[in-house]
Amino acid sequence: MDRFQAGDLPDRTARMAVGAAVALVLVIILADVISPKGVYLSPMLVVAPALTTAFAGPRLTAGVALVAIAAQMVAASLTGSALSAARLWQLSALVVVSILLIFFSYVRQRRARQLSRARRVAEAAQRVLLRPPPERVGPLRIGWQYLTAEDDTQFGGDLFAVTRRRPDSSRVIIGDVRGHGLPAISEASAALGSFREAARRCARLDELALILEESIGWDLEEGGEGPGQEDEHFVTALLLDLPDAHDHASMISCGHSPPLLVHSDGRVTTAHCDPAPPLGLGYLSLTGVRIQTVEYAVGDTLLLYTDGVIEARSPQGEFYPLAKRVRSFPYSESPEVLLKRLRQDLLAHTGGHLSDDAALLAVTRAN
């Protein structure tokens, strides 16, 4: 979700805004000319270039400023006070303020371009990191959505991937790294890399979970975590094994929210599972993991999500009721349609702004 920047107005809108600023100059000059003697309204001309800086760059700001300066001189000539001390001071003040406004507009536009470049780089890096899954993996149809938080500087560690374990099953992960910024991106990258490598060669899902636990633990140690900080970094994850020839799915939850199962008959249920500790804490080998099985027939959709979805709040502070809202949607075999409706409904609930990144992954077993 790209944030809207003031400097990103379409050209047509910018031209209309500049036209409004010029019209404001004309109104002020007309009022100044017809006002009683000794009443000067032309100092208000500075409002026009000041407003222009909010939606235009330095060139348009300079153009409007020149129009305002010319209008100031015309008004002084028409009122016969061109050489009065008051008019000269007003003109000087308008010139100085206009120069400052043009400089401010230049700095603002330069900063906006830097932020735009940084946003594009971040989006590209995130796409490389996530390596979005294809629309079709074996008998599965895949849909996904990644909604970024309102603050573009907060790049979270939400992650998901779908990989094929030949010859007859697919492996899925969705997870959430604690924290934001570069450390979270680094940990998410390590988790995804380990998953893609291990998912293809691990015969069992519990073996995959233990390998991920070990790999993420090593990565945190190499990251230079100091004493007492080990519990501050971890990854919640949901691992799934989806065989091609069976009507069930196996899953392991490592501290992650359970998925929703949208059945082909329209029913929506929660695929409850006993959660194991999150990855990276070092407890998984002590507590062990439990593989749980859920019904997953042709036409069913598994809806996976991160906590940014269920913890999204409305302006009144109400959490987003994911299961309730999904039950209200008309059934569709298309995961893309489901996620499109869900995205629109989630943003409507929050007023268009999210406080945390949110990832959604829908996996439908096709015919």
Q: What is the pLDDT of residues 280-326, one digit of tens each?
A: 888 887 788 889 999 999 999 999 999 999 999 999 999 999 999 99
pLDDT tens digits along 12-55 = 666 777 788 888 888 877 777 777 776 667 677 888 888 888 77
Co-location of 36 and 66 in the same domain? yes
In one-letter notation, the amino acid at residue 126 is: Q
Query: What confidence category does residue 220 fall into, taking pLDDT thresholds of 50, 70 and 90?
Result: low
Residue 186 lies in a domain: yes
Co-location of 215 and 135 in the same domain? yes
Co-location of 110 and 233 in the same domain? no
Q: Is the pLDDT of residue 4 over 60?
A: no
Look at residues 89, 120, 151 and tell me which one is the last residue of a structural domain. Answer: 120
Look at residues 120, 143, 174 and tell me which one is the last residue of a structural domain. Answer: 120
Residue 286, Cβ density class (10 Å: 0-12 exposed, 13-18 middle, ≥19 buried): exposed
d(CA 132, CA 9): 30
Give the total number of structural domains in the chain: 2
Co-location of 224 and 323 in the same domain? yes
Query: CA torsion angle for 18, 24, 27, 28 (degrees, to 10)?
Result: -130
Co-location of 234 and 276 in the same domain? yes
Residue 256 lies in a domain: yes
Co-location of 114 and 169 in the same domain? no
Token readout for 37 is 């003697």
Look at residues 120, 144, 170 and tell me which one is the last residue of a structural domain. Answer: 120
pLDDT tens digits along 132-159 = 889 999 999 999 998 877 555 455 678 9
pLDDT of residue 226: 47
Residue 88 lies in a domain: yes
pLDDT tens digits along 326-365 = 999 999 889 999 999 999 999 999 998 888 889 999 999 9
Co-location of 252 and 116 in the same domain? no
d(CA 260, CA 294): 11
Residue 79 lies in a domain: yes
Co-location of 87 and 151 in the same domain? no
In one-letter notation, the amino acid at residue 39 is: V
pLDDT of residue 125: 72
Mean pLDDT, residues 181-199: 84
Helix, strand, coil percentages in the chain from 3-state DSSP, rounded to 5: 50, 20, 30
Cα 257 from chain centre:
21
d(CA 150, CA 357): 9
Token readout for 315 is 């302006």
Co-location of 202 and 68 in the same domain? no
pLDDT of residue 2: 38
Distance set, CA 134 to CA 96, 234, 302 (Å): 58, 28, 16
Distant-in-sequence, close-in-space partners of 23: CB < 8 Å, separation ≥ 6: none
Instruction: For residue 27, give its domain range.
Output: 6-120
Residue 109 lies in a domain: yes
pLDDT of residue 79: 67
